[in-house]
Every structure is written in structure tokens, then in C-alpha cells.
Structure 1
Amino acid sequence: MSETFERYFVPQPSKFPILGAAALLLFGSGAAMWVNKVGAGPWIFFCGIAILIYMLFGWFGQVVRESEGGLYGRQVGKSFRWSMGWFIFSEVMFFAAFFGALFYVRVLALPALSTGENEALLWQGFSGAWPSSGPRVADAFTPMGAWGIPAINTLILLSSGATLTWAHYGLLKGKRSQLKLGLLVTILLGAIFLSLQAYEYTHAYAELNLRLDSGIYGSTFYLLTGFHGLHVTVGAIMLTVMLFRSIAGHFTPEHHFGFEAAAWYWHFVDVVWLFLFVVVYWL
């Protein structure tokens, strides 16, 4: 009995890993110098950004050409899926750290600080109730309510997950127009979400006096919602690339992992927002 073995694709040596490392070095060092008011900091920072963008276009473009050229087999596809799965898991741990910090403050730290013997370390009349400006006295602020823009954004993101699934279904059935329309609508919903979040921040600063330095509530609010907004931005960019690839005729019902990877990421962003809406806005 003869057996056939699939040849595993081995890429040629590439310049892009070292370019990516150099870009991140310039990005990090430039940001540190910028914060510390070193004159060359902004230039180094944006130089790192430029090299990073060049690296992303070049490296991902090479992967797309190799994929469309039929160089990848089942083993490569499996490694891509494992890699994307571990990447999303690392993102889960990223947000878990922030949610854990919020849990620690609300459930453990504030009640402990509001006891009689610890109250003297802060100020008279300190309350362990949430939302709190503790452990420092901040200017009075109004916490962000759940019903309004946050609820609308929740509906928008849930709808975007449905439109993306509809696009995926179109791809599996060979309906290219459904694929492209679903992707376009999903991207537009993501853009509306980000626009409403920007308006929410403007409203919070101007009318609610809710700022990044408004104690522990302000810092956790902007940290969680801001990083989530960054992830929505990255997901929208990924879906935009998938839309252009779909217009160019890429992807088949049998081979479309690039689309699947972007869809996994977008659904992850949706799920994180549901937790964030309940914990940050509602409770």
C-alpha cells in the first residue's frame, strides 16, 4: 500500500521579520522619548510607524500572493488556524487583566479602604461605593450611563456580527455579491460605532467632567473602552482588506482562511463589548 504525503511549504528567507523588530524598537523608544519631552522622540516614533506599515503591507502581501498561488496545503492551513487561535487567546488574557483590575478595585479594594482604620489614610467620609474617585479626591464627575450611546453601540456591534455571518454564508454558497455587501455593511457599522464612541468621549469630557484623571473610575473607564475601540479599529481595517480581496476575486468556498481569521477577530471584539457593556456601563 502506497501513501502520499503532502509537501509542507517552506518560505524563502525574508527581510520582513527584522524590519518588524526595528519598527517596534523605534516605535517604543520614540514614544518613551516623546513622553519625556526629548526633541527627536516624535520623529523616531513616526519613523517606526512608517516602517511598521511598510512591513505589514509587504509581509501580508507576500502571504496573500503565496496563498492565491496555491502554495499552501492543509498543514499550512492548520498552522494558520492554530496561530490565529493563540493570538485571540492572548487578546482574551489582555482584556482579562483589565477586567480583573476592575473586579479587584470594586469588590476587594474599595470595601477594605472604607473601613474605619483605613479611612484615616485617605480622607474623612470616604465611601467604598462604586463609582468612586478613590483613592484620591477628584473633581466631581457624573458616571457614564448604560442607556443611550452605549446601548446603541451594543446593538450596532451585535448587528455587525450578524451581517458578517451573512457575508460568510454568501461566500460558502458562492454568492459573491452577498459576500461583498455583507462585508461593506459590517465595516460601515464598525465606523458608526467608533464615531459614536468619539462623540461619547467628547460628551464625557465636556458635560460629565469625566476625565482620564477622575480617579479609579475614570482611568478604568477610558482604559477598557479605549482599548476596545482600538481593537474595533484594527478589526475594521482587517475587514476592509478582506473586502478589497473579495472584489479582486480572492477566496473560494473551500479556501478562505484570511476571511475566517478576520471574522474570528471581529466576533471576539463583539463578545468583549458585551462583557464591557455589562460590567463598565450597566453594573
Structure 2
Amino acid sequence: MRLAELPRGVSRRQKRRENQAAAPRGLASSQELSRPQTIKPVKLDPQEIRLSEVALPPNEFNLVEDHLRELPTQESLLHTCIRPMRQAEMVLLRKGWEENPEVRPSLIHDIDNENILHLAQTSPPVLRSDIGREAEISFLARYMDVPGGRWLRVGYKTQILDVILGYRLNETTTENVVTVKAPSELTPVTLRLAYRITPPEDLDMRLVLWPEKTPLGLMDLSAGGLKFYHDIMLSFSKHQLLNLALLSGVQKLVLEARVVRSEDVRDIKGKLKGATSVTFTQSDETASQQYIRFLTEVYRHLLARRSGLGKK
């Protein structure tokens, strides 16, 4: 027995997901986007604090106090970070609003005689068209220069020198690599640029598709984009343009974004959800500035809460 007029081999669920993916989502009017907007994070009443339905990714805000102390010597930093198999994070810096970065995990495969680092190719990959672009390379490591040790993220800015396919690491192994100059000095990276913020449970931070107001679950956000979870029946295709509204209290900020990737995740109850990452494509400089101010306020709130100043 066939239902309705669906082609053979096509389920209703599959057809619905295809229709949702093809439909334009969250496209607000130019008048809506150009309207002046101001938003600040609003605290939730303690009785209203709600636990997230999805296990959120770890963050590194517990490192902030360690960054405020005096750094180890440059000799110690370079010896610890600049060596084969050390994990690294690469950030390609872009112009305008997109100057806010996307963090790409990598590691040091090799250091040649000319002091050039051969880094593992990233995902998404660094392209040959990126050669010459500025990048920030950072490293997270533990230092035992204080009682109990401390974790620090330090880095430096450089340019992409080359993208090499099939670089030979040894007699049996080749890898695709990205080459950059090794640093002469390492400094603390700018937290706002390199770190993703997990929404604090005591702040009212909500995300919806705009103007439909379809609720989305905010997983993490950074200066360059954000990640949200959603019902598995919702589908977003790569490069799809979205308008998202960030809500806090009665305030709203509409942000233009483009889908980078989608994946399936499970919440803490084991229920399957969709998770989508987007990068901002903001054309309105005022909205961009408002978002950065909002992100900064959230970050300050986290610092105050950690130091005890945010407790009542």
C-alpha cells in the first residue's frame, strides 16, 4: 500500500526533511536588519535556572586566572610548545566581520632545518588560496612553574607559507600539511578571538530562527559564529543562509549567518538531536558591534562568577 503520492522508496520523513532543507529559513527583511538594536545579557531568577538538554562541550574559562599571572620564560614556552606532535589550534584571520576567526585543530608534524613548522592539515582545510593570509597559531599546555601547575594557552601570528599534499614524514607515512614560520616569541592569545563561550546557566540566552521564531538550543558562541542544536527533523544544508535572533529578556539581536556544517548529537537523555555550526556573514556593522559587546559582557560575567564577585 502506498501513501499519498510519494515516489517509491521515499519515506514521509525523508520527503519532509528534503522540503525543509529546500525552504528558505529565517530570512528577515532588510528593514528588520537595519533597525538599531541593543542587547545585554539578562540574569535568570535562581528559581528559573534550567539545565541544558544537551551535554555542552568543555570550555577553558578556568584558565583565565592563570593567564593573569606572570608568564613562564620564553625559553620554557618555546621548549614546551614547539616540538613534534604538539597539538595546535589555527585561526585564519579574515577581513571585516569575518575577521573574527574559526578555530581549526591541528598539530606539529615536523620542524625542518629552516625553522619551518609543518602542521597537520585542518578541517575545514586550509586552501592554496589561503597562502599568504595571516593566521594565529596557539598552543595549550601545562606548566609546573607554580604549585600544582597551571594550564596556559599561548600563541603567535604568522602567514601561511604553503599547503603541501603528501608531505613525507618518514619512509612509510605521508600527510597533507600546512607550513608556517616557527615563532621567536609566544604570548597569551586574545581570549575573545580564540575561545568559544558555553552559555552560562544563570543567564537568559536563547536562540531562534528569525522571523519564524523556531526555538534552537544554543550550544556555544564565539566572535566568529555559533553552534546550536535542534530537532532532528530540522535540516540545514551547507552554505545555507540563515537569520538568527539572539534573545535575552525582552531584547533581540538579529544576526546573519551561513551554515558551515551539521552533525547528529545525543542529549544527556540519549535522544538524537541535530547540531549545526554557522559563521557570521554580518553586513551591518552596528549589529556586529552589538554582538561583540554582548559576548564581552557574558565573558565578564563568567570571570566575575569564577572570582566570587558574581555570587549573591
TM-score with structure 1 setting the length: 0.26
More helix by share: 1
More strand by share: 2
Larger Rg: 1
TM-score with structure 2 setting the length: 0.24
